[in-house]
Amino acid sequence: MDNILTRAFYDRDTLTVARDLLGRDIVRALPDGTRLICRITETEGYIGRMDKACHAYGYKRTPRTETLFARPGTAYLYLIYGMYHCLNFVTEGEGEPAAVLIRGAVPIENGDIIAKNRFGCKEKDMSAYQKKNFLNGPGKLCRGLALTRVENGVDLTAPTGGLYVCEGVPTAPGQIQTGRRIGIDYAEEAVDFLWRFYV
């Protein structure tokens, strides 16, 4: 097996998980058995009990946010601006709305398929601009891995759902940078939380 991360990995403090996900490998198993693999390079933590940038701030439950209350190790996918999907991993205990947004990654396996999903060409044929902006954003990552709301609620701790995370090469603490999260200008004091982690 691929050393799939267990539920206990996700059942921890959200910011600890966000840091620890750097260097881990997202595996997207396609119906034909092909695997698209990307290594995580950037994450953001969201914690509903006290974070105004979280969809479930103050334990707000809606059809959209219900997945945030699921078991740790569940995929939470949502649509923004009516066109871009975002991949999150639910963290902490069941009923505690918290998750890690996967903001960026680099291709590890079947980069040509990922490039075709993004740009309609093979990886070697991408322009310099395309290479720089390959998977450096949550919507870009989801497009590259062909992820949509269909994968919302998938159990990341088992290969049967076609989406899981493996050990990869964990990032040394000294290599991890922190900063403000992106695109949350509405979130009042939460704008200043240094909950973005990247290599």
| Gap between the Cα atoms of 47 and 132, Å rounded | 30
CB 139 within 8 A of CB 84: yes
pTM of the full predicted structure? 0.95
Q: List 40's β-bridge partners, or say none.
A: 105
pLDDT at 1 over 60: no
* Residue 12, C-beta contacts closer than 8 angstroms, at least 6 positions apart: 72, 91, 92
The domains located in the chain, with CATH, are 7-198 (3.10.300.10)
pLDDT attached to residue 68: 97
pLDDT at 148 over 90: yes
Phi, psi (degrees; rounded to nearest 5) at 76: -115, 110
Task: Return the SS3 of 198.
Answer: strand
pLDDT attached to residue 89: 98
As a three-state string, the secondary structure of 35-103 is: EEEEEEEEEEEEECCCCCCCCCHHHCCCCCCHHHHCCCCEEEEEEECCCEEEEEEECCCCCCCEEEEEE
pLDDT attached to residue 83: 80
Q: What is the overall mean pLDDT for the chain? A: 95
pLDDT at 141 over 90: yes
pLDDT at 99 over 80: yes
Tell me which H or E stretch contains 104: strand 98-109
What does the pLDDT average to over 80-92? 92
